Amino acid sequence: MSGTSTLVQTDRLTRVRARLADAGVDALLLTRAQNITYVSGFAGSAGAAVVTPGAAYLVVDFRYIEQAALQAPRFSRVKAGGPLLDAAGALLAQLGPRRIGIEAEALPVGAFRRLEAAVGPSEVVLVEGLDHIRWLKDTAEVAALGRAAAIADAAFTAVLPMIRPGAVERDIAVELEYRLRRAGSERLPFDLIVASGPRSALPHGVASERIIGRGEFVTVDFGAVIGGYHSDCTRTVVTAPATDRHREVYELVRSAQAAALAGLRPGMTGREADALARTPITQAGYGEAFGHSLGHGVGLQIHEGPTLSPREEAVLAPGAVVTVEPGVYLPDWGGVRIEDLVVVTDAGCEVLTRLPKGFYEVET
């Protein structure tokens, strides 16, 4: 995030101040790392931000004073000599706002009580949904997400020849991690999933010592991180000899994903988007085998809002970046998931993932 322009950060600060006004608070304390990075550009591992209608402060310890100056030039730096929350509380007590908002989902109860004691008689109030400010991505964010997706695409393409009967799941994951990091990924966005045979029916089947056999699905879930922004992709292949059942299940998931990509558009709810893929899978008799949501938002966190879920009533808008990842998982046999990263546009959606999705049978 160090390359984020001052103009972009000014716009984000304006958005946060609008939430401050909506919540009826005079100051806002941010402690969630992703929200701090989003509004300020600071990407250190420890910090707190205080935003008021006319000022913005970044509370950091000695390790990050210079980094904060480089990454968050619009924020005044406050050096903490002890716990960050205590320093932030002392700053707020000095500023003397009547009502202080905090992220409702971030502070543990003990920290909340300590903050209350530090800032009294100011009132500390919970502000719901502050993470929503990150749901709609600007052009710089979409560009970073696109670069992360491209790195992941190239890494998987390089590793694909390793997926063969006799290969070990963990060996594939290690090589994939190497390729991702060598191409520029800052870290892994999550534990890489390489799951073969019956293990491919585990939606989060991280790589094991299992040896891939013949006639098995192999599901690989992976991503990259660029500028703090994550990508997320899944592809499933089958080792020869493929059966009619392999082809049937794969084609069902592929066609369900294609229907979702074709129908996804701004103005629909996350629940309606989920139904685009869930309905054909259910009609084919596999509804119980699709147990997770169709997708989730991706950005500074690998899982954020909005979600494409049967329970999501939030409305999608241009700029939302989400995964589209239907799956069918059949215990003791195998499973298929196909996942792309997409950005919602005025006309529908743009797919950032470029990997092919045709039925791929690995010949021995």
Q: How far is CA 123 from CA 1, 85, 86, 230, 257, in A?
A: 33, 16, 16, 36, 48
Mean pLDDT value across residues 286-315: 98
Mean pLDDT value across residues 248-264: 98
pLDDT of the residue at 6: 58
pLDDT at 56 over 80: yes
Mean pLDDT value across residues 56-66: 97
CATH fold of 139-362 reads: Creatine Amidinohydrolase (3.90.230)
Q: Are 289 and 298 in contact (CB under 8 A)?
A: no
Sign of CA dihedral 111, 115, 118, 123: negative
pLDDT of the residue at 1: 46
Q: Are 235 and 220 in contact (CB under 8 A)?
A: yes
What percent of the chain stands above pLDDT 70? Answer: 98
pLDDT at 5 over 90: no
pLDDT at 47 over 70: yes
Instruction: Delimit the CATH 3.90.230.10 region(s) of the chain.
Output: 139-362
pTM equals: 0.94
Instruction: Delimit the CATH 3.40.350.10 region(s) of the chain.
Output: 6-133
pLDDT of the residue at 2: 43
Q: Kindly report the CATH class assigned to 6-133.
A: alpha beta
CA distance 325 to 312: 16
